[in-house]
Amino acid sequence: MTTMATPQTWSPEVFTDAVGDAVWAPSIHNCQPWRFRHTGDGVDVLLDEHRVLAACDRYGRMARMSCGAAAYNLRLALAMAGLPAQYRFGAGRTLLHLWPDRPRRPAPLESRLYQQIHHRHTNRGPFADTAVDTAASHRLSEAARREGGWLDFVTDDAPLDVVAGLVRAADAQLRADPAYTAELRAWSIAADDRVEGVGPAAAGAAPHPGELLTRRDFGGPVLEMTRDPARRPAVAVLGVLGDGFDDAVRAGMALQRVLLTAADLGLTTALYSQPTEVPALRERLRRTVDRLHDPQLVLRFGYAPRTCYTNRRPIADVIEP
């Protein structure tokens, strides 16, 4: 009698541990709009539609990006368990379905990126005046490319001024909308021990009119910072080859691979999505980098002392029965 080999899949323990890594992804306002489901033959990454930010993310693009970033962590964690994932995009609130590929040892690069999951964080403090070398920026662009994205560094003064102007204009335009500011206040939490939102330690100081790229105002204190010390900031624009629902998830996976690569290079990162939240300014950003598809995010890389981490909700809250 011949016995059929049972297809190997992830155990519930491996799944739960991997979700524990996935949730350390970045998410817009730290809203953590993800859920995960073990389907028996694989794993689904789902959008938690109740957590899509109505004012700044009406169509859920940034929520999908956030889920894509979590999915990239999940893929790394599953690969570390010796059973890497293949994936396909889903439908409705199921954004991705993952199923096991052939068992293998994790690649050295996967191990390195995996180790950065719990070290990476968004840094809203001042960056040092230390240039990011071109070898590092090439590695970052390559990281985006490996996940189907593009990451264009804006190195010349004139386009850099344009990008800075677009971030500033977008931030001002967004702040003029009472629904946007109310939503931002709701996610700018007063205490650092909350499990979601951005607390005082992670928020950094209030944005200063003299800074190069206007940071989103999470309610930090007003400080006497008159100018940004970095003379040659490393600013880049991230995108993918499309602007549909799946493209946003793909952009999130590309984003997370870029962020973990940056952490692996000893770099810190700041994120600026404001110009992608105002359609006319997003179009101008697209023309500035001369790409066919709308950009997904502006990033800044550099060197800075580690600031504070944000927290995450308990794993039980994000696992679907």
Ligand X SMILES: Cc1cc2nc3c(=O)[nH]c(=O)nc-3n(C[C@H](O)[C@H](O)[C@H](O)COP(=O)(O)O)c2cc1C
CA nearest to 245, candidates 26, 44, 60: 60
Give the contact letters, 130-169, x = binds to ligand X (CB under 6 A), - = no.
Answer: ----------------------------------------
- Which residues, numbered 189-208, are part of the site for ligand X (CB under 6 A)? 198, 202
Considering only 26, 199, 239, 275, the residue that binds ligand X (CB under 6 A) is 26
Considering only 10, 114, 272, 301, the residue that binds ligand X (CB under 6 A) is 272
For the beta sheet containing 149-153, the strands, ordered from the edge strand earlier in sequence to the opposite edge, are 149-153, 234-240, 297-302, 268-272
Comparison of 261 and 274: residue with beta carbon closer to ligand X: 274
Pairwise CA distance, residues 195 & 158, whole Å: 41
Helix (H) / strand (E) containing 167: helix 157-175
256 binds ligand X (CB under 6 A): no
Comparison of 69 and 132: residue with beta carbon closer to ligand X: 69
Q: With contact defined as beta carbons under 8 Å apart, do 209 and 245 qualify?
A: no
At how many degrees (to 10) do helices 108-116 and 61-80 cross?
130
Considering only 35, 75, 97, 121, the residue that binds ligand X (CB under 6 A) is 121
With contacts defined by CB under 6 A, name the span among 23-31, 37-45, 177-185, 231-239 that binds ligand X: 23-31
Beta-strand runs (E) in 196-241: 234-240
SS3 277: coil
- Which residues, numbered 286-315, are part of the site for ligand X (CB under 6 A)? 297, 309-310
- What's the token pair of residue 301? 């890389």
Query: Hunting for tokens 């109740």 — which residue is that?
Result: 50
Pairwise CA distance, residues 183 & 186, whole Å: 5
- How many residues in the shown chain lie near ligand X by CB under 6 A? 23
With contacts defined by CB under 6 A, name the span among 61-69, 145-153, 158-166, 283-291 that binds ligand X: 61-69
Considering only 22, 47, 62, 70, the residue that binds ligand X (CB under 6 A) is 62
| Chain contacts with ligand X (rule: CB under 6 A) | 26-30, 62, 65-66, 69, 121-122, 124, 198, 202, 215-216, 271-274, 297, 309-310
